[in-house]
Amino acid sequence: MSKVLVAYFSTTGTTKVAATGLAKAVGADTYEIAQEVPYTNDDLDRKKD
């Protein structure tokens, strides 16, 4: 087990790809932070506010 942890939050998967790539490069563990209540598509639509 590594002493380095890459914790990330990703809704689209973009940050997940970056975080897992970074973790692999430095030999770190990963931890995905997830919301307790999933976002709706409406929540994720950045054009609406």
Closest of 1, 6, 2 to residue 23, by C-alpha: 6
Which one of residues 2, 15, 21, 29 is an interface residue with ligand FMN (CB under 6 A)?
15
In this structure, the number of other CB atoms found within 10 A of the CB of residue 18 comes to: 13
Angle at 38 between CA 40 and CA 7, to 5 degrees: 125
**11 near ligand FMN (CB under 6 A):** yes
CB of 35 to ligand FMN, least distance (A): 8
The nearer residue to ligand FMN, 16 or 28, going by C-beta atoms, is 16
Binding ligand FMN (rule: CB under 6 A), the pick from 3, 12, 25, 34 is 12
